[in-house]
Amino acid sequence: MVEDIHMTNAIVGEPPEFRNPASESPAAKAALILAALVFLTFFLFLPLVSVFVEAFRKGAGEYLAALAEPDAVSAIKLTLLVAAISVPLNLVFGLAAAWAIAKFEFKGKAFLITLIDLPFSISPVISGLVYVLLFGSHSLLGPWLKSYGIEILFAVPGIVLATVFVTFPFVARELIPLMEDQGTGDEEAALSLGASGWQTFWYITLPNIKWGLLYGVLLCNARAMGEFGAVSVVSGHIRGLTNTMPLHVEILYNEYNFVAAFAVASLLALLALVTLALKTVLELRFGAGNTGGKH
């Protein structure tokens, strides 16, 4: 069929006019691509570009000065500290939960998975609120904690708890489908050859899931460093003490100090871009991560 058309065209000397009937006309294609690009430009590309443009509006000197400011430095340090505590906690949980769920058949498994997903469907503000109700001065625990001099709210432990809550499902979510796909054959072989449980996990399971694990940790870390709503509710906004980077951005912005706000924001945007780049590389090279959109 196609050959014939090419032959006739070759004789007549006109370009071939064959179009796959199971595909759109070139005009429709162009219109769809244009519509998508305009939409993405307005909602995705321009916001990203504007972060860096606003940050450098008054030159590189002002930009660097905003980042070297003591409150900014302490916000950066606090953000790194919070991520350094909460990501490993959720990493250990993710491994344990995925091991129990993927390697065994037990009753109530589907319900357990739903519970693990719960933080995804809860407003970040409510994630912070639950800890205020639990540890605040009006709560049951509040006066008791106060008598021992333990500070949770408006201090680092509260910020860590709120961050752990919102980033809770990331690692588990990534590992459960991966480990379910891999089944239990490898582990059973290792065990029957005399390996201990820990050896099996360390030499068999971990190498099998390392890229998926890295992927989950990356997403967990990006969210941990960028969380705003939950942390904002429990932090008390004490400058230099309980301000993480996103909270510092808010304070600077509300003080109309736009260059400094966007300078700190640009670091967070850079973190997002590095996360996306690593994620893309992992997907292309190792097929890690399913693209099912639940984050």
Report the site for another protein in 195-214 (rule: CB under 8 A): 197, 200-201
Q: Which of residues 130-159 bind another protein (CB under 8 A)?
A: 130-134, 136, 138-139
Q: Does 233 bind another protein (CB under 8 A)?
A: yes
Decide if 195 contacts 264 (C-beta within 8 A): no
Q: Specify the residue, 10 or 196, whose C-beta has the smaller distance to another protein.
A: 196
Chosen residue from 10, 73, 125, 150 binding another protein by CB under 8 A: 125
Closest CA to 181 of 103, 100, 283, 273: 103
Burial of 187 (0-12, 13-18, 19+ CB in 10 A): buried
Contacts of 68 (CB under 8 A, 6+ apart): none
Q: Which of residues 42-71 bind another protein (CB under 8 A)?
A: 42-48, 50-51, 54
Q: Which of residues 257-276 bind another protein (CB under 8 A)?
A: 258, 261-262, 265, 268-269, 271-273, 275-276
Q: Verify binding: residue 186, another protein, rule CB under 8 A.
A: no
**Residues 213-232 within binding reach of another protein (CB under 8 A):** 219, 222, 225-229, 232
Q: Select the residue interacting with another protein from 71, 74, 93, 157 (CB under 8 A).
A: 93
Q: Which of residues 16-45 bind another protein (CB under 8 A)?
A: 21-25, 28-29, 32-33, 35-36, 39-40, 42-45
Q: Minimal CA–CA distance to 288: which of 198, 201, 182?
A: 182
Write out 1-58 in H/E/C secondary structure.
Answer: CHHHHHHHHHHHCCCCCCCCCCCCCHHHHHHHHHHHHHHHHHHHHHHHHHHHHHHCCC
